[in-house]
Amino acid sequence: MGDFVSNLSLGFGVALSLQNLGLAFLGCLVGTLIGVLPGVGPIATIAMLLPITFGLDPVGALIMLAGIYYGAQYGGSTTAILVNIPGEATSVVTALDGHQMARQGRAGVALGIAAIGSFFAGTVATLVIAALGAPLTKLALVFGSAEYFSLMVMGLVFAVVLARGSILKAIAMILVGVLLSTVGTDLETGRERMTFGLSFLSDGIDFAVLAMGIFGIAEIMRNLESTEARDIVHKAIGRLLPNKDDFKQSYWAVIRGTVIGAILGILPGNGAVLGPFASYTVEKKIAKDPRRFGRGAIEGVAGPESANNAGAQTSFIPLLTLGIPPNAVMALMVGAMTIHGIVPGPQVMTKNPNLFWGMIASMWVGNLMLLVINLPLVGMWVRLLKVPYRLMFPAILMFCAIGIYSINSLPTDVIFIALFGLVGYLLIKFGFEPAPMLLGFVLGKLMEENLRRALIFSRGSLSTFIERPVSAGLLAVAVLLLVLALLPSIRKGRDEVFTE
């Protein structure tokens, strides 16, 4: 316990420095902004802002990027409630009841309970991360190359099972990602492979280029083809603080949502996205009168919003302790860490304790800031919703191009984001989920490194992965998951869950 307190105080020392406070505030502000503006998700934004973080110190850079991520979760609920457009994948559920509440003139209460639920969930999740950090890191230090390889295989299998749409497509996307990660120079022999003799490919495909093309540019193209009718509520927003009855109805929903979200957020694969859906389903099943849902039930806002924020923050656990990104945003965080020369994994906590604890403390500080940014400034965010797309998209494209050019000053990078943008757009059209590809790309390099290292230690014998108990256990879980997911009865259930 003494350790825990001293670590947290170290973290707050880092998080409360002027520069880091400023960066956390900036991150939360930008996050809320892109959460509010439909069509630009946190993935695209973090990809666009990666070049800006080169000049910052690593702790500040990651604090800002993390702020953008959970800021977007907050902002997404604002548009979902007021305009019925989920600004973020995770706020789809919030729109169901939140928008109905807004139409009944209770928009303020819906926004208030969303923010309060999110703050509570964020606080709990931050404590969970702090509590689990030390034991998980101790566990991770037992890991050798074989265990790491098996753990990543398991992570990718989770990503397959939890991805939307067909399992085969998800596997295909992951394999394409792993394949793309092998372009460049061979790790051990130093020879070029799959570069087609092009000199700019000898360093491999730049992570920022891939992310920005597949998520930034492709998203814009997808948004251009749908003209959106914005259903803005013209009623007054009303009081923001929920009254006693509202709290009475929703406090259990908030607690349940927090627990569900926190557990699902830890799962590799896109667990954090499932949190709000699971919470909404649970609330509807438990409710005395399930017919209220979809017609403005306050629990339908409180539960999913809490789950959403708890999941967004506990998904940092696998990233910070094991170095495995559970979703696309965390894959971008791995990219940001490697750019700054930090190897994500169990060593982060021992080698850079101020980074680890500073980030955790800054999450709590960020949650506090988001309460301040969101509730009093709601009017401003609503005005922003009136910005027409024809002004927004050219600006985003321009920032993408400038940002990517500023990293390596290579014109080929700008051409590449256009190419990946086109590829990403086609993938979305053909029903492929692009997020697993990014995971495969990030984990591919690490997997190859650990696979080859393990094989060098075992003199080329593959049985090393089965002989080591931890590694064998992880592989067994992976195989079991895949078999279960491919069983027809379970597959049907899985498809039903996703269509719901």
**Residue-wise pLDDT tens digits, 304-337:** 989 988 988 888 888 887 777 888 888 888 888 8
Q: What pLDDT is attached to residue 410?
A: 86
Q: What pLDDT is attached to residue 270?
A: 66
In this predicted structure, the answer to whether residue 24 has a pLDDT above a threshold of 80 is: yes
3-state secondary structure labels for all residues of the chain: CHHHHHHHHHHHHHHCCHHHHHHHHHHHHHHHHHHHCCCCCHHHHHHHHHHHHHHCCHHHHHHHHHHHHHHHHHHHHHHHHHHCCCCCHHHHHHHHHHHHHHHCCCHHHHHHHHHHHHHHHHHHHHHHHHHHHHHHHHHHCCCCHHHHHHHHHHHHHHHHHHCCCCHHHHHHHHHHHHHHHCCEECCCCCCEECCCCCHHHCCCCCHHHHHHHHHHHHHHHHHHHCCCCCCCCCCCCCCCCCCHHHHHHHHHHHHHHHHHHHHHHHCCCCHHHHHHHHHHHHHHHHCCCHHHCCCCCCHHHHHHHHHHHHHHHHCHHHHHHHCCCCCHHHHHHHHHHHHCCCCCCCHHHHHCHHHHHHHHHHHHHHHHHHHHHHCCCHHHHHHHCCCCHHHHHHHHHHHHHHHHHHHHCCHHHHHHHHHHHHHHHHHHHCCCCCHHHHHHHHHHHHHHHHHHHHHHHCCCCCCHHHHCHHHHHHHHHHHHHHHHHHCHHHHHHHHHHHHC
Largest CA distance in the chain: 71
In this predicted structure, the answer to whether residue 85 has a pLDDT above a threshold of 90 is: no
Q: What pLDDT is attached to residue 130?
A: 81
Q: What pLDDT is attached to residue 451?
A: 93
Residues 176-183, mean pLDDT to the nearest whole number? 94
Task: Give the relative orientation of helices 299-314 and 244-266 as an angle to the nearest 10 degrees.
Answer: 30
Q: What pLDDT is attached to residue 493?
A: 67
User: Comparing C-alpha atoms, which of 319, 329, 336 is closest to residue 53?
Assistant: 336
Q: Which residue has the tokens 């979809």?
A: 294
**DSSP-assigned beta bridge partners for residue 480:** none
Question: 473 falls in which pLDDT band (50, 70, 90)?
Answer: very high
Cα–Cα distance list, 485 to 33, 146, 281, 481, 488 (Å): 38, 25, 21, 6, 8
pTM, to two decimals = 0.82
Mean residue pLDDT of the chain comes to 84
Give pLDDT tens digits for 222-263.
878 876 656 666 666 667 677 788 888 888 899 999 999 998
Q: What pLDDT is attached to residue 325?
A: 82
In this predicted structure, the answer to whether residue 178 has a pLDDT above a threshold of 90 is: yes
Q: What pLDDT is attached to residue 19?
A: 92
Q: What pLDDT is attached to residue 79?
A: 80
In this predicted structure, the answer to whether residue 472 has a pLDDT above a threshold of 90 is: yes
Cβ pair 430, 172 in contact under 8 A? no
Mean pLDDT lowest among 28-37, 45-54, 81-90, 246-255: 81-90
CA distance 86 to 83: 8
Question: 376 falls in which pLDDT band (50, 70, 90)?
Answer: confident
Q: Which residue has the higher pLDDT, 128 or 425?
A: 425
Residues 446-470, mean pLDDT to the nearest whole number? 90
Percent of the residues in the chain that have a pLDDT greater than 90, as a whole number: 19
Cα–Cα distance list, 331 to 2, 268, 316, 440 (Å): 33, 11, 11, 9
Q: Which residue has the higher pLDDT, 383 or 99?
A: 99
Mean pLDDT lowest among 183-192, 253-262, 470-479: 183-192
CA distance 389 to 35: 15
The token duo for 286 is 């438990």
How far is CA 365 from its chain centroid? 19
Q: What pLDDT is attached to residue 151?
A: 86
Q: How many residues in total does the chain contain?
A: 500
